Structure 1
Amino acid sequence: MSLLHVTLILLTLAGNAYSQVTSFPSTLKVKVFADVGANVTLPCHFSSKDSQTFGSRIKWIKVADDEALNQDVLLSMGLHTKTYGRFENRVSLETEGGEDASILITEVTKDDSGTYRCDIANGMEDAVQEVVLEVQSFIGVVFPYSPHLGRYNLNFDEAVQACLDQDAQVASFDQLFAAWEDGLDWCNAGWLNDGTVQYPITKPRQPCGGSNNQPGLRSYGRRDKQMSRYDVFCYISELMGDVYWLEQPHRLTFDEAVQACIDDDAEIAKVGHMYAAWKLRGYDRCDAGWLADGSVRYPISRPRKNCSPTDAAVRFVAFPDKDQNSYGVYCFKAGQSGAR
């Protein structure tokens, strides 16, 4: 048996034994924050300037309410380090040696939120520190977009412009991942800002990558930015104004809708405005109305019969003939306090 295998066995045995300790020295506690998909450092330092991490045993645990359910994260002894479970290949010591036993967690998820315990023993000084990690979702909303031409009609440059036209930008992988964790499920593939094409699935089914696959982001990888054509995922971080339904005595054509908003010292709302009002402010209205791209949509935050029976969503109606006077209009006024 190789020396490496013996070392890993000893690390595992030491980790199991150490996890059974039920009494700890008094602990220091700090709180750190991270966004979904980001990297974060959990700090842990010796209290003595004379102490060195080299040759010490460093044990990181994710603490549960029931100590029996604690999760091992990392164990380091001398030159050898082992990570465990879902932390494997995502956690490493921030530095080698010195006074620092901090760890780096990469690709943070919401499940990483919680309390972590750093235990250090070097024969001269034992130290215990606790870190509370709070993982925050992105403040903003990711929304899928395709133009009036239909699905899969945008190359990359056109996708960038399509999002800009909605006061948004092409979403990043981290933003789409956070949206997926928040429940976004969409079966059409769309561009991301790194030139990849992906789509989020929370409810696996046959037409969307197969019913036997796990939930997650389905990826087509990097595609030719000029020749390939897909939809796009856009991201808007905040709403700098007020989205509202403009009361009118009659239904409007598209041109009439545009003018009606102008007459109200506003502009016709964009799709990005609608999604931001819906997601960030809980805007809810069961009236189909024109938006600036010529589509007709309405926002539902409280699912109910005849509006959106099962899901909170921005409901898409159609890209109707612009001369059709069957709809109202949503307007946007910059600098206001909220949707109504």
Structure 2
Amino acid sequence: MISLLCITIISLTMAGSGYCQMATPSSPKLVKTELGGNVTLPCKLESEDSFFFGSLKVTWTKVAEDESQNEDVLVSIGLHKRTYGNFENRAFLVNLEGGDTSLVLTEVSMEDMGRYRCEVIDGMEDIIQDVILEVENGLTEGVVFPYSPHRGRYNLNFDDAVQTCASQDAVIASFDQLLEAWKDGLDWCNAGWLSDGTVQYPITKPRQPCGGANSNPGIRKYGSKNKQTSRFDVFCYASKLKGHFYWLVQPDRLSYDEAVQACRDDNAEIAKVGHIYAAWKLEAYDRCDAGWLADGSVRYPISRPRKNCSPTEAAVRFVAFPDKKVKSYGVYCFKADQ
């Protein structure tokens, strides 16, 4: 385990004598973040002029109750940096050359919660800063949903998957978000990309086409795949709406182009798939009318199962990607907060 070294300074006025100066941890700072997001843990030298960049040593450690079990996160010595264990490729320093040794963690999980220690040695100003990280379950403010494009299932490489979620006012979901959605009852037999580059799918009701009827419920894992050549669906994560999702009352059924224009005429936009899932899951939106959405699909949200309207489960029901010229559907609109 790597710890801060004791600095011995030889006094110029008292030749041959010396003393050892050890920095002590300052009062811990509290940082809160949501599950699956990115977070910055603050740690910065007081003066940018007090250090020589090539000699700077920075150590970030996750502190355990028994400090003999501390976990190394990141060590940086001059131009050389190394991350460890579960933090590999997820931990970065903000601006080392500018004296900002704050730690950025990406794709935060519940396991990341805890106390972190920043130790900095530059030969003149040595500091120890503790930061306590609290992680809040982002699913209280969002919803995970599976998505495949109009051209059919298993047509997205990883980059396509990221962009597809963004186009639906969502982000690609993390494993922790998918896990929490599975605990909440999400069951989906098509494999989809997650933000860490793995391909997985959640099963609450084991059955033959989905890993076998005698298998246990859980997250089925395909593991890491080639991000450019492998093609799957994607799991997206939509946050709480910052606006109003609604069914636009119209006297006639509309084509897709007419639906887009109708929302514009109402000073709104045609709703996206992320909007309908967020309204359904987080606002209990319920309507048994099939309506156009921005991606050209037709769907409707049911939070109260009943005959002829998703009789067995609450769900966003998918109808089809119909010919955009047909006039068989209404439209769902979204009006953003001003």
TM-score calculated relative to the size of structure 2: 0.61
CA drift of 1:94 comes to 4.2
Q: Does 1:152 align with 2:154?
A: yes
Provide runs of 4+ in structure 1 moved above 2 Å.
Answer: 33-38, 92-97, 134-139
Matched residue, 2:191: 189
TM-score calculated relative to the size of structure 1: 0.61
1:276-291 equivalences in 2 (<5 Å) = 276-291=278-293
Matched AA of 2:175: F
d(CA) in 2 for partners of 1:290, 1:37:
30
CA drift of 1:267 comes to 0.3
Matched AA of 1:329: V
Q: Which of these residues, 222, 225, 242, is aligned with residue 223 of structure 1?
A: 225
d(CA) in 2 for partners of 1:251, 1:94:
66
Matched AA of 1:168: A
d(CA) in 1 for partners of 2:228, 2:299:
30
1:36/1:178 contact within 8 Å kept: no
CA drift of 1:96 comes to 4.3
d(CA) in 2 for partners of 1:37, 1:149:
29
Matched residue, 1:176: 178
Q: Secondary structure at the match of 1:310?
A: coil
CA drift of 1:34 comes to 10
1:137/1:178 contact within 8 Å kept: no
d(CA) in 2 for partners of 1:240, 1:253:
27
Q: Secondary structure at the match of 2:67?
A: coil
Matched residue, 1:47: none
1:129-278 equivalences in 2 (<5 Å) = 136=137, 138=139, 139-278=141-280
1:256–1:177: structure 2 CA closer, same or farther, 3 Å change rule?
same
1:37–1:211: structure 2 CA closer, same or farther, 3 Å change rule?
farther
CA drift of 1:35 comes to 7.6
Q: Secondary structure at the match of 1:276?
A: helix
Q: Which of these residues, 306, 320, 323, is aligned with residue 321 of structure 1?
A: 323
Matched AA of 1:261: C
Matched AA of 2:67: T
1:240/1:335 contact within 8 Å kept: yes
Identical positions, percent: 72
**Alignment deviations for residues 159-203 of structure 1 (CA, whole Å, 9 cap, x no partner):** 111000001110000000010011000000000011100000000
1:140/1:236 contact within 8 Å kept: yes
Matched residue, 1:119: none
CA drift of 1:95 comes to 2.5
1:37–1:217: structure 2 CA closer, same or farther, 3 Å change rule?
farther
1:163/1:234 contact within 8 Å kept: yes
d(CA) in 1 for partners of 2:295, 2:138:
29
d(CA) in 2 for partners of 1:175, 1:211:
25
Give aligned pairs, total. 220
d(CA) in 1 for partners of 2:298, 2:192:
21
